[in-house]
Amino acid sequence: MPTPPLLALRGVCKRFGVVQVLKDVELEVRAGEVVALLGDNGAGKSTLVKVISGVAPADRGVIEWEGRAVQIRRPHDARDLGIATVYQDFALCGNLDIVGNLFLGREIRNYGFLDEVEMERRTRDLLEHLTTGVPDLRAPVVSLSSGQRQTVAIARSVLGDPRILLLDEPTASLGFEQTTLVLDLVDRLRDRGLGVLLISHNMGDVKALADRAAVLRLGRNNGFFDVNTVSQEQIISSITGATENVPRRMAPREEAW
Amino acid sequence: MVKGIRKPADRTRADSAPSTAESGPPHRGRDIVRAVEALAAAFRHRVRAGELGSFPVVLVLLAVWIVFQTLNENFLSPRNLSNLGVDIVGTGLIAVGIVFVLLIGEIDLSVGSISGLAAAVFAVLNVNHGVPEWLAVMVGVLVGTAAGTVQGASFAKTRVPAFVVTLAGLLAWNGLMLYILGTSGTINIDENGFVAKLTSHYFSNDAAAYGLAAVGAGLVFLASYWDRRRRRAVGMPHRSLLEIGVRTGVLAVIAFAAAYVLNRFQGLPLALLIFLVLVAGLDVVLRRTHYGRQVYALGGGVEAALRASLRVVRVQTAVLAVSGTMAAIGGLFLASRITSVSQTSGSGVLLLNAIAAAVIGGTSLFGGRGRTWSAVLGILVIESVASGMAITDTPIAVQFMITGGVLFAAVVIDSLSRRSQEAHGRA
């Protein structure tokens, strides 16, 4: 291997109280690559995202960034490394316009006053790179469609020049047309050399977009696939556990919850 | 290969906003028509998007003025309008503080009591204890700031709704005021002092009012012009010179008309000057600073603000501190108007009028939408009704009913425009 992966997890474990949510999870994301993270409900996908984004740090295991071990204890650590997360519920301010949302908390200032012109210019340049239909930058976000809002949320996370983007179910609440809009955006981000970790339930999205897929099952790795060569059935059976030779293990704690 | 066939959806709304209007050189007449069309298009765009802003309240104000002028020809006399310009200041300043609180989606019920408390502190220190007037004024205002900060911090840290915290404040600060006043009852303040002058001083030189109108219109023009130049320099959509001219022109006509009317009575009232400067300054703070952006963001959603790592507790505390400070300043103007402080200072309909003014002016009760200027328009409506009632000898009962009706209409418009905005998003 000439270059180490951008982000690599080695033997990551995480427990909440008595529940072992993640056990010895391995994962690699390279620059310019979309990795789909798949798994049934309760497989530990969201927890893995929280581990990487520093919201819920790992108990054990090593996280490597470009080949060297790093500590991610807080969201701040992840952000400093260049890890950006887009959560499922966009978390935008509906009353602010697109420019206001993109730069919220990191406004460009000029003698203490907001530099609206510069912020609007950068927003326009960024959105022109990301998407074809740039909406009215001064319209309040509440008047945008959900696909456009997702675009704004992703653009907001890209603004900090991250190296890796974590997307938690980016198309879950979107219609067909809106989904294409967002998938196209992720495609462009990959072309710009970002690593993307895409959590999705939608096999269509995964086939259309991902280069590799990593399947989690009951908190453990349950296979890595090259999306272009493997069949959809193989991935699905890995998600549901049909490929396991051993009888289906009980997951007493998780199901009890 | 599936990647190749995805076609990006183009959901861009055809934006007819004025930004793209360009002025062609020779035909001034056609240019003006085009600028007016652009303004009208922008207006229709905003109405459809549920952003009526101050438009309904301007209509209401005009209606109120026309009705009372037909009932009594003295209503629009320079004397009455000039008095109106002074009457709006006390409650108007309090309403400006309320605008800040409404913007973060909360409400402050304590402003009436705080205004009375600040006035009482000033009067007792200055009149009863001989403290120099400037120092007593400072202490009075700072008491308001402190009261607001205490409420803000307890609301932000404990997550008890501001409604409840300030309801406790309403009682507590009123009690403190009565305690400070003690047995003295009514305190008359020095009629020639600085505080009394706040509402009794007029700049009788005609140049003052016209100067203010000129400076205001000039600043607005320069700000838009600089904005246009910077946008043009980086190739961004910008307003045409003509449109800036039309906008500034309309503003200038209103400003100079007001100045003319004021000069036909006693000139520019000091109180009105202070009020307008404060409102304009706070408008800049809200819309052009990092702090103001945080205030709007909190109104749009605390969760989003937290994710953007805004200091939510600090902003919430600061907003109630601003509202307490403005209440105290407003209280001093109210005391100045009647040159006395009594046990009834800050009580009665003052609180309700201040909140009603902010809402009638177009500040949303749901947070996140509104400007300081809405307090000016709202209080103008309320005081116009009050003044018209007084001039036509109508009983105060009717006045309450009319103000209540206007407030009700304002709330309904706010709610409807909010819903239309959301529907607009789904369209």
Residue B286, both tokens: 């809200």
Residue B121, both tokens: 């502190």
Please, what is the end-to-end C-alpha distance for chain A in angstroms?
42
Say if the ipTM goes beyond 0.90.
no
CA atoms of B268 and B110, how far apart (whole Å)? 32
What is the per-residue pLDDT for A244? Answer: 54
Beta bridge partners of B376: none
pLDDT higher than 90, residue B355: yes
Residue of chain B minimizing CA distance to A177: B9
**Are B335 and B341 spatial neighbours (Cβ–Cβ below 8 Å)?**
yes
**A120 interaction partners in chain B (CB closer than 8 Å):** 236
Q: Tell me which of A12-26, B93-107, B259-273 is least confident.
A: A12-26
Q: Min CA distance, B313 vs chain A (Å)?
A: 14
CA atoms of B346 and B10, how far apart (whole Å)? 56
**A142 interaction partners in chain B (CB closer than 8 Å):** 421-422, 425
CA atoms of B245 and B175, how far apart (whole Å)? 53
What is the per-residue pLDDT for B52? Answer: 63
Nearest to B234 among A105, A117, A180 (CB): A117
pLDDT higher than 50, residue B18: no
Average per-residue pLDDT for chain B: 87
Selected residue with higher pLDDT from B14 and B224: B224
CA distances from B226 to A138, B30, B198, B231 (A): 19, 25, 35, 9
Residue of chain A minimizing CA distance to B366: A95
Q: Min CA distance, B316 vs chain A (Å)?
A: 15
pLDDT higher than 70, residue B19: no
Residue of B20, B226, B286, B293 to mutate for A, most A C-beta atoms under 10 A: B293
What is the per-residue pLDDT for B322? Answer: 97
Domain architecture of chain A: domains with CATH: 7-240 (3.40.50.300)
CA atoms of A175 and A184, how far apart (whole Å)? 14
Q: Residue B264: which of B11, B424, B67, B80 has the closest Cα?
A: B80
Residue A143 DSSP class: G
Confidence of residue B407 (pLDDT cuts 50, 70, 90): confident
Confidence of residue A209 (pLDDT cuts 50, 70, 90): confident
What is the per-residue pLDDT for B285? Answer: 96
Phi, psi of B95 (to 5 degrees): -65, -35
Residue B158, both tokens: 């404990």
Counting every residue, how long is chain B? Answer: 427
**A208 interaction partners in chain B (CB closer than 8 Å):** 2-3, 6
pLDDT tens column, B388-397: 988 888 888 8
Confidence of residue B7 (pLDDT cuts 50, 70, 90): very low
Nearest to B9 among A92, A105, A181 (CB): A181
Nearest to A91 among B17, B303, B426 (CB): B303
Residue of A33, A80, A104 to mutate for B, most B C-beta atoms under 10 A: A104
Confidence of residue B4 (pLDDT cuts 50, 70, 90): very low
Q: Residue A254: which of A49, A39, A54 has the closest Cα?
A: A39
- A180/B9 Cβ within 8 A: yes
Confidence of residue A243 (pLDDT cuts 50, 70, 90): low
What is the per-residue pLDDT for A142? Answer: 85
CA atoms of B28 and B44, how far apart (whole Å)? 24
pLDDT higher than 60, residue B2: no
CA atoms of A1 and A14, how far apart (whole Å)? 29
Q: Min CA distance, A160 vs chain B (Å)?
A: 12
Tell how strand A7-16 and strand A19-29 pair up: antiparallel
**Are B418 and B364 spatial neighbours (Cβ–Cβ below 8 Å)?**
yes
CA atoms of A85 and A52, how far apart (whole Å)? 9
Conformation bin of residue B7: beta by default, left when phi > 0, alpha when psi is -120 to 50 = beta
Could you tell me how many CB contacts below 8 A there are between chain A and chain B? Answer: 124
What is the per-residue pLDDT for B51? Answer: 61
Confidence of residue A54 (pLDDT cuts 50, 70, 90): confident
pLDDT tens column, A192-202: 889 999 998 78
- B11/A177 Cβ within 8 A: yes
Residue of A95, A134, A141, A202 to mutate for B, most B C-beta atoms under 10 A: A95
**B236 interaction partners in chain A (CB closer than 8 Å):** 117, 120-121, 124
Q: What's the rounded mean pLDDT across residues B402-414?
A: 84
- A133/B297 Cβ within 8 A: no
What is the third-level CATH fold of B55-204+266-423?
ABC transporter involved in vitamin B12 uptake, BtuC (1.10.3470)
Sign of CA dihedral B118, B123, B126, B130: negative
Domain regions of chain B by residue span: 55-204+266-423
pLDDT higher than 60, residue B9: no
Q: Min CA distance, A249 vs chain B (Å)?
A: 37
pLDDT higher than 60, residue B16: no
Nearest to B8 among A132, A139, A143 (CB): A132
